[in-house]
Structure 1
Amino acid sequence: MKKKIVSALMVAAMVVTAFAGCGSDKGGTSTQGGDKTSKSSGKVYMLNFKPETDEAWQDLAETYTDQTGVEVNVLTAADGQYNTTLQSEMAKSDAPTIFNVGNSSAAQTWNDYTYDLKDSELYKHLTDKSLVINSDDKVAAIANCYECYGLIYNKTILEGYCGMDGAVVSSVDEINNFDTLKKVADDINSRIDDINKELGTDLTEAFASAGLDDGSSWRFAGHLANMPLYYEFKDDGCDLTAGEESIKGTYLDNFKNVWDMYVSDSAADPKTLNSGALNAESEFGMGEAVFYQNGDWEFAPLTDEENGYVVTADDLSMMPIYFGVDDENEGLCVGTENYWAVNAKASQEDIDATLEFLNWVITSDEGRDAITNQMGLTAPYDTFTGNYETKNAFAQAANKLMTDGKTSVAWSFNATPNVDDWRADVVSALTAYTAGEGEWDAVKTAFVDGWANQWKIAHEGDAQ
């Protein structure tokens, strides 16, 4: 898929060019124009959070403009640069009218900019009213998708391995705890040549590379780090997504065990994980890896024929990140950090136009098709029925695990204070440890002490 992503470093110099009644420039990062009759005299500017959905949003914006004449701009921030881009864009006179709020901490930061959505059509169509962020007695943001993540796996290859002589397990269903997962991954990684010969595959590793560059490190400083946070918050009886001001790092040894498995059962050089030269999606998509920690948002790019990947939808499934705590009862990590907020400081005309656009997205054939079939997302709205129910194999896996009585892991990382700063310190320590240039204790310090420090900074005005 052709991704039209604007780096945060280029945002300040970027000029968004309008067009009227003509086709969009497919090489750009914004889509707008049209002069047809509209119910609203305002305009819409979306600052998109997810780079992999950029093209679909550009097309939707163009379609809406063609149908209504309402000017719609879409700008997509680069991986790991959303907050920087948001701060830059919000300082401009033509600020975004739709922006992403990832958690309660972000909602506090942008509280003055979040319009109350409790009377919106979005809220009325929301199937689970808990999928909102409340701030100062208002609905500050509403989830636009309900996502899951875990261990993506190539079930065709894994099932083939299970049928080989000497395999650790004879069925994928037997992989239901960390110890078994590690034994399987270790065995696959040690028998690459034998597996390729017997199955006709092109494997190079059990796990796709665990990149620690800005475009990938969130998978580990965010999504893998969620696991020890979740289990500790659960032990402490606190709100699983609001968290607490101090953590002990009770389950960091489990984090280390999983991380060490990712690194040792991959072909990537541990010293180059932060180089930016690795592409885990491509490794998995080309059939070079059996396992790949990521989420259901990967279904669309992995099955997009334009990417040239060899995997198909029939090859794809997902299992939990078995963590060695309550594995037999564990489901996938289910939640979201994708919440639409509407800029309260925009003009009322632009607010009205923005709300109309978002309602069109979740009710029109074009919008629902884009979200379900092009972006591969699961939307939490009652309008997504029939042909617009999820076809995403990973979301289907999450639903099956829930039906089987497994407990979904909450997105506890949504509680992370000053998320970018905290994650950056964890990544720095993790990079040094993995390259053999630092100790694991430094990771613990960044994780535990860093949390307390960032929490204090993020909440220093709460008592005033």
Structure 2
Amino acid sequence: MKKRVLALVLSTAMVSGILAGCGSSTGESSEPAASTEAAAETEAADTEETAAETEAAETAEDAEIPSGRVYLLNFKPETNDAWQELAGVYNDLGGNVTVLTAADGQYKTTLQSELAKSEAPTVFNIGSAADAQTYADYIYDLKDSEIYNHMTDKSLAVEYDGKIAGVANCYEAYGLIYNKTILEDYCTMDNAVISSVDDIQDLDTLEKVADDINARIDEINEQFGTDLTEAFASAGLDDGSSWRFAGHLANLPLYYEFKDDGLEDLTAGEAEIKGTYMDNFKRVWDMYVRDSAADPKTLNSGALNAESELGMGEAVFYQNGDWEFSPLTNPDNGYSVTEDDLDMMPIYFGVDDATEGLCVGTENHWAVNAKCSQEEIDATLAFLNWVITSDEGRDSLVNAMGLSCPFDTFTGDYEPKNPFGAKANKLATEGKTSVAWSFNATPNVDDWRKGVVSALTAYTDGSGQWDDVVTSFVDGWADQWKLAHEE
């Protein structure tokens, strides 16, 4: 049942890029059971899952460790420590794994730099079929790989030119992370806009709540002993944070426009967009800025730390994803929030708030470098299979990295534990529609986002107009689409 629920959530979000090459050599590429029969079925299912888990662990333990070079260029900075530790464990078993993690917003630049070296990455991240097209000569077909065969939902793989170009290693959800302890305390105040957190079901209510909280910071701190400074954590427009808005917030107007246009695949995109929902984008962005303590003129300074603001109880709302659960609750980071303080709600956009769920999808796909030697390719595939079948690998992905993984080996103790991901499932079972990651269709993603961020920065600091943001969004899309799809 859990797998069916997961499939329901993921069916609303297709998959998304960037690829690498080796400098030398070649390679090809619930309710209690109502009857004895129901109880027997449940027991059989549990036994099947346990057997599969045990078999996976035994297979990983018995597998011979190849000595070929493995170089993983990691896409997610927040998982660096866990990947380094995991590589160390594998190397102690006889492996030869190196992990390099690109800085926030610097993956493409780092990849290009690493490709120029004689020992380039053997496995790297791609986000979409568009990336596979761009780097088609470097794609190794994963259709016969163990990691592909272990996928519970093969629609999460990136397919291009008859090949399985990338295998999703996790699925993710994003929305508005919020401090429910502070928000629940606010609900008890005299003249609060809402009496329960559940009253926030649309953008109208969210705006009123955020405005009221921001206007009553001192009163809230005095009454509850909090250290609140703002309703919304800072909306940084530097390279390490701007993707949250030029990518993840921008997803909402793309998603709703693609729906209006009747696209069957809401992550495939189209050559031209109209900017139908840019007024909604402006409304949400303006709320983020006015209900934050950050100076609108310094949002691109790089000096802001929205994660810390939420983590230290200084902000109530923080737009980000389930990957933030692990760093927010890691005691080594020194944050004051605990798991019990945290929850997530949709980014209400004022379009179809009554049925909107969290944004669910992935940009994280393992792609294996076809230009590496066969020895390197085989060693890389063996390492990735060990990661998703061994106790050490599964524990790291689920517990240390806080990921939800789409493989049949992640049962029992290795089922997703991230409560933000669980919230996506919960909303889906309640009839909400998960928002597809339509931004995965973005043409020349870095260049398009750069134009949007530049215009958004100027609008926010007062040196530009909102019309310039719309122009960069709409005309910039058409220009980049033409460039990306030139023959």
TM-score of the alignment, normalized to the shorter chain, above 0.5? yes
2:476 aligned residue (447, 450, 461): 450
Counterpart CA distance in 1 for 2:251 and 2:158 is 19
Aligned to 2:325: 299
Aligned to 1:161: 186
Counterpart CA distance in 1 for 2:67 and 2:103 is 31
Counterpart CA distance in 2 for 1:268 and 1:274 is 11
Deviations 1:203-231 (A, max 9, x none): 00000000000000000000000000000
The Cα shift of 1:253 comes to 0.3
Q: How does 1:216-295 map to 2 (within 5 A)?
A: 216-238=241-263, 239-295=265-321
Root mean square deviation, CA, Å: 0.9
User: Greater shift after overlay, 104-113 or 363-372?
Assistant: 104-113
Counterpart CA distance in 2 for 1:104 and 1:257 is 32
User: SS in structure 2 opposite 1:328?
Assistant: coil
Counterpart CA distance in 1 for 2:335 and 2:67 is 44
The Cα shift of 1:91 comes to 2.5
Counterpart CA distance in 1 for 2:228 and 2:157 is 42
The Cα shift of 1:41 comes to 3.5
Aligned residues: 424
Aligned to 2:10: none
The residue identity in structure 1 corresponding to 2:121 is: P
Q: How does 1:377-388 map to 2 (within 5 A)?
A: 377-388=403-414
Q: How does 1:201-216 map to 2 (within 5 A)?
A: 201-216=226-241
1:407 aligned residue (433, 455, 462): 433
Aligned to 2:137: 112
The Cα shift of 1:90 comes to 1.8
The residue identity in structure 2 corresponding to 1:327 is: D
The answer to whether the 8 Å contact 2:67/2:96 transfers is no
The Cα shift of 1:108 comes to 1.0
The answer to whether the 8 Å contact 1:38/1:70 transfers is no
Q: How does 1:94-105 map to 2 (within 5 A)?
A: 94-105=119-130
Deviations 1:220-267 (A, max 9, x none): 000000000000001111121010010000000000000000000000
User: SS in structure 1 opposite 2:409?
Assistant: coil
Counterpart CA distance in 2 for 1:94 and 1:156 is 50
Counterpart CA distance in 2 for 1:120 and 1:213 is 39
Q: How does 1:60-459 map to 2 (within 5 A)?
A: 60-67=86-93, 69-238=94-263, 239-459=265-485
User: SS in structure 2 opposite 1:310?
Assistant: coil
Report sequence identity in percent.
76
Deviations 1:306-358 (A, max 9, x none): 10000001111100000000001000000000111000111001101000100
The residue identity in structure 1 corresponding to 2:301 is: S
The Cα shift of 1:114 comes to 1.4
Counterpart CA distance in 1 for 2:269 and 2:114 is 29
The answer to whether the 8 Å contact 2:174/2:360 transfers is yes
Counterpart CA distance in 1 for 2:67 and 2:402 is 32
Counterpart CA distance in 2 for 1:155 and 1:112 is 49
Counterpart CA distance in 2 for 1:203 and 1:405 is 34
Structure 2 unaligned spans of 5+:
1-62
Deviations 1:140-192 (A, max 9, x none): 00111100000000011111111211110111111010000000000000001
User: SS in structure 2 opposite 1:73?
Assistant: strand
User: SS in structure 2 opposite 1:340?
Assistant: strand
The residue identity in structure 1 corresponding to 2:220 is: I
1:41 aligned residue (63, 67, 86): 67
The Cα shift of 1:38 comes to 4.7
Counterpart CA distance in 2 for 1:41 and 1:284 is 44
The residue identity in structure 2 corresponding to 1:60 is: L
Counterpart CA distance in 2 for 1:280 and 1:107 is 33
Flag the structure with more relative contact order, 1 or 2, with Cα contacts below 8 A and sequence separation at least 6.
2
User: SS in structure 1 opposite 2:354?
Assistant: helix
The Cα shift of 1:40 comes to 2.0
The Cα shift of 1:124 comes to 1.1
Counterpart CA distance in 2 for 1:445 and 1:211 is 21
Deviations 1:116-139 (A, max 9, x none): 111111111111111011110000
Please list every run of at least 4 consecutive aligned residues from structure 1 whose deviation after the TM superposition is greater than 3 angstroms.
Answer: none
The Cα shift of 1:102 comes to 1.2
The Cα shift of 1:70 comes to 1.6
Counterpart CA distance in 1 for 2:410 and 2:223 is 43
Counterpart CA distance in 1 for 2:163 and 2:134 is 15
Deviations 1:88-118 (A, max 9, x none): 2122221101100012221111211111111
Counterpart CA distance in 2 for 1:64 and 1:111 is 30
Structure 1 unaligned spans of 5+:
1-36
2:80 aligned residue (54, 57, 68): 54
Counterpart CA distance in 2 for 1:40 and 1:282 is 42
The answer to whether the 8 Å contact 2:122/2:380 transfers is yes
The answer to whether the 8 Å contact 1:104/1:414 transfers is no
Deviations 1:22-60 (A, max 9, x none): xxxxxxxxxxxxxxx954231100000000000000000
The residue identity in structure 2 corresponding to 1:440 is: W
TM-score (norm 1): 0.90
User: SS in structure 2 opposite 1:145?
Assistant: coil
The answer to whether the 8 Å contact 1:146/1:379 transfers is yes
Counterpart CA distance in 2 for 1:70 and 1:364 is 14
